[in-house]
Amino acid sequence: MSIKNLIICIVILAGLVALPHFLAYNFQDLLIFLAVNVLVVVSYRLVTLTGEWSLIHVVMMGVGAYASAMLSKMAGFPFWISMPIAGLTAAGIAALLCFPLFRMTQFYFLIGSFAAGEAIRLVWIYFIDPFGGSSGINNLPPPELGDIDFYEPIPYFYMTLIIVTISLFILYRIEKSRVGLTLNAVHWKAPLAESVGVDTWKYRSLALIVGSFFVGIAGALKVHYLGVVTPHQFGIGVMVFVLIWVIVGGYASFVGPIIGVVVLTVFDQGLRASGIVDPAVQPAVYGAVLIASILFMPEGLEGIGKRFFSKSSGENA
C-alpha cells in the first residue's frame, strides 16, 4: 500500500469515527448496517474472484448469525467468543458444501448454490427447536465490555467499525498476495492454471470458505444489534441486493463493491427522505438502476471514477 493510499484510509477512518455524532438516531442505526453490508460485499468479492458467482453468500451470513445467536442465547457464550465461532461455523458449512458445489461451474454452480442456500433456510424454518422457526430467535444479548452500553448505536458502530476494518485489511492482504493472484488465474483460464500445478478445486473452495468466514462474522454483528435473528433476513431478496451493490459498484477492483453499497444506500435513503417515490415502488427504482448501470457503465461506478481521475490527473494516475 502506498503512502497516498494509507493517508486516504486514515482520513476516511477519521471521518467515520466523527460521522455518527452528526447524524440523527435512526441514521446511526443505518450506519451500523452499512458497515456490516460493506463487509458482506467485500467478502463476496473474494468469492467472485475465482469467477464463480454464488447465491449462497447471504445464507452463509445467516449461518454465522444463527450460530452466534444460539451460542449466546442457549449456551450463554459472550459475544466476543460467539462471534468468531460464528465465522468458523459459516466457514465449516461452506467447506462441506464445496464437495457438491464445486463439481459444477458457472451457471450450474449459481443454481446449485441457490438450492443449497434455500435448503439451509428451510432447515431454520422447519425445525422450530432449536432454530425457532419463522419467528427465529429473539432477545439476543448485546456484547458486554466494561461499562460500555452496546444498546446505544454509537458504541456498537465503533465496535463494528473496528471489526470490519480489520476484516477488510485481511481480505485486502489476501487479494494482493500470491493467493489472490492464483484466484485470478483460476478465474481467467482454469485449465491453464491447472497446467502449471494449481489445484483449481482447492482454490475455489478456499475463496468460498474464507468469504463465508467473514460474512458469518458480519451476520453475528448484524443480529446482535437487532437483537433478533429470523430466516427472512437472509432470503434471496437480500442476496439480490448484494449482487446489485457489487455490480453497480464494479467488481473489477477491491473498492468497487464498497462504493456500490455506500452510494446506493445513500441514494436509497435520499429517495426515501425526499418522498418523491412511493416506498412501494422503490425496488423497481433499484431494478432500473441495475439495468442502467449494466447498460451505461459496465465497469460500475468504480470504472467511472477511474476514468475521471485518469483524465484529470493524466500520467499521475
Partner 1 sequence: MALLEVKNVTKQFGGLTALNDVSFSVEKGEIRGLIGPNGAGKSTMFKNIAGFYTPTKGEVIYDGQNIAGAHPCKVSGMGLVRTFQETTLFDEMSVFENALVGCHMTARSNLFSAIFGSDRQRQKIAAEKTMDVLEFMGLADRKDQLASELPLGSQRALAMAISLNADPKVLLMDEPFAGMNPEETNHMMDLTRKLQDKGITIVLVEHDMKAVMGLCGYLTVLCFGSLLAEGTPEEIRNNEKVIQAYLGGGS
Candidate segments 7-15, 182-190, 274-282, 301-309, binder of partner 1 by CB under 8 A: 182-190
Size of the site for partner 1 (CB under 8 A): 25
Our CB check for partner 1 shows the closer of 110 and 198 to be 198
Verify binding: residue 138, partner 1, rule CB under 8 A: no
Residue 210 CB, nearest approach to partner 1 (Å): 7
Verify binding: residue 88, partner 1, rule CB under 8 A: no
Verify binding: residue 196, partner 1, rule CB under 8 A: yes
Phi, psi of 229 (to 5 degrees): -130, 130
Verify binding: residue 307, partner 1, rule CB under 8 A: no
Angle among Cα 42, 45, 51 to the nearest 5 degrees reads 175
Verify binding: residue 168, partner 1, rule CB under 8 A: no
Verify binding: residue 103, partner 1, rule CB under 8 A: no
Verify binding: residue 198, partner 1, rule CB under 8 A: yes
Verify binding: residue 189, partner 1, rule CB under 8 A: yes
* Position among 126, 151, 188, 308 found at the interface with partner 1 (CB under 8 A): 188
Verify binding: residue 47, partner 1, rule CB under 8 A: no
Verify binding: residue 206, partner 1, rule CB under 8 A: yes
Candidate segments 10-18, 38-46, 54-62, 172-180, binder of partner 1 by CB under 8 A: 172-180
Q: 51: how many CB neighbours lie within 10 A of its CB? A: 18
Our CB check for partner 1 shows the closer of 18 and 196 to be 196
Residue 88 CB, nearest approach to partner 1 (Å): 14
Our CB check for partner 1 shows the closer of 184 and 269 to be 184
Burial class (CB in 10 A: 0-12, 13-18, 19+), 188: exposed
Verify binding: residue 265, partner 1, rule CB under 8 A: no
Verify binding: residue 39, partner 1, rule CB under 8 A: no
Q: Extract the C-alpha cell encoding 13.
A: 477512518
Query: Could you tell me if 134 and 128 are in contact, meaning their C-beta atoms sit under 8 angstroms apart?
Result: no
* Position among 8, 14, 123, 181 found at the interface with partner 1 (CB under 8 A): 181
Verify binding: residue 200, partner 1, rule CB under 8 A: yes
Candidate segments 26-34, 79-87, 192-200, 287-295, binder of partner 1 by CB under 8 A: 192-200
Our measurement of the distance from residue 205's CA atom to the centroid of its chain's CA atoms, rounded to an integer in Å, reads 18
Q: Residue 38 to residues 68, 153, 164: CA-CA distances in angstroms?
A: 20, 17, 8
Verify binding: residue 282, partner 1, rule CB under 8 A: no
Verify binding: residue 182, partner 1, rule CB under 8 A: yes
Question: What is the binding site for partner 1 (CB under 8 A)?
Answer: 170, 173-174, 177-182, 184-185, 188-189, 191-200, 206, 210
